[in-house]
Structure formats: structure tokens, C-alpha cells
Amino acid sequence: MNKTGTLRNVAIVGASRIPFCRAGTAYADLTNLDMLVSALQGLVDRYNLHGVQLDEVVAGAVSNHPKDFNLAREAVLGTSLSPLTPGISLQQACGTSLQAAFGIAAKIACGQIECGIAAGADSASDPPILFSRKFSQRLVKLSKAKTLGEKFSVFKGFSMSELSPVAPAIAEPRTELSMGEHAELMAREWKIERAEQDELALASHNRAQAAYANCFFDDLLSPCAGMLRDNNLRYDLTLEQLSGLKPVFDRSATGTLTAGNSSALTDGAASLLLASEDWAAENGLPVLARLTHMETAAVDHVSGEGLLMAPTVAVANMLRKAGLSLQDFDYYEVHEAFAAQVLCTLKAWESEEYCRERLGLDAALGSIDRSKLNIVGSSLALGHPFAATGARIAGTLAKLLNEAGQGRGLISICTAGGMGVAAILEK
């Protein structure tokens, strides 16, 4: 804390990300480290941080390789930041880079540090492929064997099937259901129609297209591998096209989630620069917005709660602590993992029964003005590299607030494992 014992304001000073690209396309040959370095270097270049020693860089990836045992530190060393800048690796599924911002912000608020970068990267094109556990154990024993006889004995009973690669599972370990399958269950529980999901997906693409036309993303993007724009965005998308897609998670007649109303597997990285207001002033950097409230929550998805409903809890708890209502915001940034998830969240906030029984409130949180929701598009249009999404959203919202000159914005992000993160930004 400062000398008066009060918490300091936390400023979002800048943001930078590389264009997000569908898996298997422009970044197919890049690693998490390659993309994270590019996103960080874009921030360094934009805000003249060459050779600067920051207090810390906190970053992570969801799809990690064993060789990236300290991804954040290696990424720092790949940039022109001072090599004396510490790098700390963190992972909380799709909330990774926003959770990284939370930790940095808390340290800034209490005076422990002055500045830091929160970041995340993920490559769906370069997943870690492992050997079977049995074969891996043989290799460990082989490394310890000293004689030729001991080495041969390691492979006693060896079967070629042990060489079958083990690809990373996208399913929840406790339920063995994919996130999409869980989202289908939520859509069924909350009676979310297919048409609603397609309409929200189309709106996301249309708003992102308009934002590009207005050059909104120009100073948020850093080129990478020849890419200047997100390549998931569809400029000619129609409701007719969306309605013609087949369900991908529940292929029966009741399935509603398709490739069009679900976020695509995406490669990308994003970064966010946070600081005390004094440090920003000393370095001639802007205060785009202030991070004023942060919240993390979890639900019991193993026992039947909706896997992606934790943001409803996080937001409710955060609003209570902030003394605000759900309607006290100029912008709402709700991560579009699936159109169904966004619609379930909105419906839950409107439900008096849910808000009373699950959130412990006296009444429903109520409806929001949909014209203030994801106004420059979100994950359905731009893509969703898991660990990068939080920094992408926070950077987007900070710019919206700065351009408006004043206001308040709400962030809501669902994550795997039945968790959610939420934040409030103000200008």
C-alpha cells in the first residue's frame, strides 16, 4: 500500500495482440512461444519499452508442451525487454491472461510493484502429442539403465501399440464430456433455441466487420507471419448459411450447436500492460482505463451444474462488492465461447428463481441493453486462442472506454473446469 495505507489505482496502459487465425492456417508452423514473443514485442514496440526492466510478465498457455516449462520467462528473453524482467507462468484455461492481470493488478494496488504485462498464447495447430504412459515409463527406466543387459530388459514385453500417440483431450476429465457437449446440456436446460444462437453469431461477425471498417483494431494488432487481420471473420455471412450448418456436438434432431455458433479452434496471442498511474505518468504513457474490480468463481459441474455458468456467480459476487447493478455499465464484454453460453448467462441473470436460489440474491439481476454487448465483435467472429482471450477482451474494452472518454465496462469469461472470471474497467 502507499504511505496513507490505501490501495492505489491500477491503470491499463496499453494492449497488443497478433491477429487470431484458425488452426491449421497462417500460424500452423508457429509455437506458443513464437506467438507469445510476437504479442509481447508488439507491446514493446508500440510503447517504447525497449531495454526497460518491468516488474514482471505473467503469461501462460492452455495447450502446453513439456519443453515450455517456463513459457513466460522464455518469451521475455525473446523480446527486447530488459532480460532482468521476471517471467511467471500461469494457467487457468480460458481465463488465463485475465487471471494474470488480476495478480499483477493486486500487486500494483498494494504498492508491491509498479508495472507488469499479462499475456497468453495458444496454438491449436501445435498440440502436445505424448507417448503412452507405459512407453514413457520404459524411456525413464532406459535413461537409468547402465548395462546393455539392463537396457534390453527395459523392453521386455514391449508391444507396438505402446507407440500409439496420445493426443490432448478436449473433454472435461471429471465428466468425459467436451465443452461443446456441456454447452448443449446448458442450452437444453435454459431452452436456448438454435435460431437465437445463429443470430448472436451473425451479430458478432457483423460488428467485428464494422469495427475493422472503422479501423478500430489498427492500434491493437501487431503483424505476425504476414497476417494483418483475424482470418476467422466472415464478411459475407448470412443467417441462411448459419442455419444450414449441421450440429457438431449433439448430432441428433435436438442438437443446436454448430461450427457457426461455436468459437473456432484458433491460434494466437495477446498482451496487456498494467501500471500504477505514477509509473504511467513518469513514462509518458496513457491511462486507457482502470481495473477496479476482479472476481473468480466456480460451479459444481461434476454434480450437474452447467459447466460454463460460473461467470453468473462471479459477476453477481463482484457487483455486490462493488455496490453496482447489472445495468450500471456502458459496455458488456461477454466471451463468446459458444453463442449458447452467452445466451444462458443472460437468461440466468434475468431469472428470479436462479438469482434467488443459486446466487443468493433478493431478486433477478435483470436484463442488459443488447446494443452494448460485444459491440466490436467477440470470440465467435475473432477467434478464441484459449489463454489469449482475456487479454484480448480487456485490451478491447480499455480502448472502447478511452475513446468514449468515460464510462464503465463489464467483462465475463467462462473457463474449462467449471470456472469463471469477471472484471470491471472504468474511465
Q: Which residues are catalytic?
A: 94, 384, 414
Angle in degrees, 0-180, between the axes of helices 339-350 and 194-213, rounded to the nearest 10? 110
CA dihedral 31, 205, 272, 125 (to 10 degrees): -10
Query: Where does residue 46 rank: exposed (0-12), middle (13-18), buried (19+ CB within 10 A)?
Result: middle
Residues contacting residue 347 through CB under 8 Å, at least 6 positions apart? 190, 192
Residues contacting residue 146 through CB under 8 Å, at least 6 positions apart? none
DSSP state of 374: S
End-to-end Cα distance, the chain? 22
Judge whether 335 and 393 are in contact, CB under 8 Å. yes
- Alpha-carbon distance of 239 to 260, in angstroms, equals 10
The set of long-range contacts for 136-141, using a CB threshold of 8 Å and a minimum separation of 24, is 138/162
The amino acid occupying position 184 is E
- Alpha-carbon distance of 55 to 44, in angstroms, equals 14
What DSSP string describes 106-119? Answer: HHHHTTS-SEEEEE
Strand ranges inside 61-114, DSSP E: 87-89
